[in-house]
Amino acid sequence: MWHWTKAITATLVRSAICLALCSIAYTLMAQQAQPLQKADSILILKKDHLLELLAGGRVIRTYKVALGSGGLAPKEREGDGRTPEGHYLIDARNSASAYHRALHISYPNAEDRQRAAKLGVSPGGAVMIHGLPNGKGFIGPAHRLYDWTLGCVAVTDDEIDEIWNLVPVGTPVEIRP
């Protein structure tokens, strides 16, 4: 009788553990299956090297970024290697760029053009949020060890895939010092 009770207890314990593990797995799968909330704005904090996706004023995702190799000062002219500062929009998507996906930022705005005109220079353009150069995705997060872009905002390929799915054309972008 003692062995029979011991066997039933062991079976019940194994069943309880199995049920608990299945419950945890189901909960995790359900969380992952929930659709991600679309961003309604993007905030880039240059000195912190952060890109935040916001929805309803609440941060829904945060990414570490690499910026322009020209330093943290605001972009002044074409070719200065700096990332601009100001208010823009995501105005285009490019799945066939030289980088793994690219979201075009509407730089230069009227203020940027006016500043460049006073300096007698071109303000430049082609500022984007993008992944790593095509074929270099293996670099992953190590790309953030230094600022290497020509003025763009760079994330890993996996991160731009996520951002791509969360950010529609027309999303406002604020780039702060």
**Any idea which of 2-6, 78-82, 113-117, 159-163 has the lowest mean pLDDT?**
2-6
**Contact call for residues 102 and 129 (beta carbons, < 8 A):** yes
- The whole-number pLDDT of residue 95 equals 96
pTM reported for the whole predicted model: 0.80
Identity (one letter) of the amino acid at 75?
K
Q: What percent of the chain has pLDDT over 70?
A: 80
Residue 4 pLDDT > 50: no
Beta-carbon contacts of 66 under 8 Å, excluding residues fewer than 6 positions away, are: 49, 143, 144, 146, 147, 148, 149, 153, 154
Region 18-40 average pLDDT? 58
**CA 78 to CA 51: how far, in whole Å?**
23
**Contact call for residues 138 and 78 (beta carbons, < 8 A):** no
Residue 17 pLDDT > 70: no
- The whole-number pLDDT of residue 71 equals 95
**CA 129 to CA 156: how far, in whole Å?**
10
Give Cα separations from 51 to 61, 72, 101, 110, 150 (angstroms): 8, 15, 16, 23, 17
| Confidence band, pLDDT 50/70/90 cuts, at residue 32 | low
How is residue 127 written in tokens?
């500022």
- The whole-number pLDDT of residue 168 equals 98
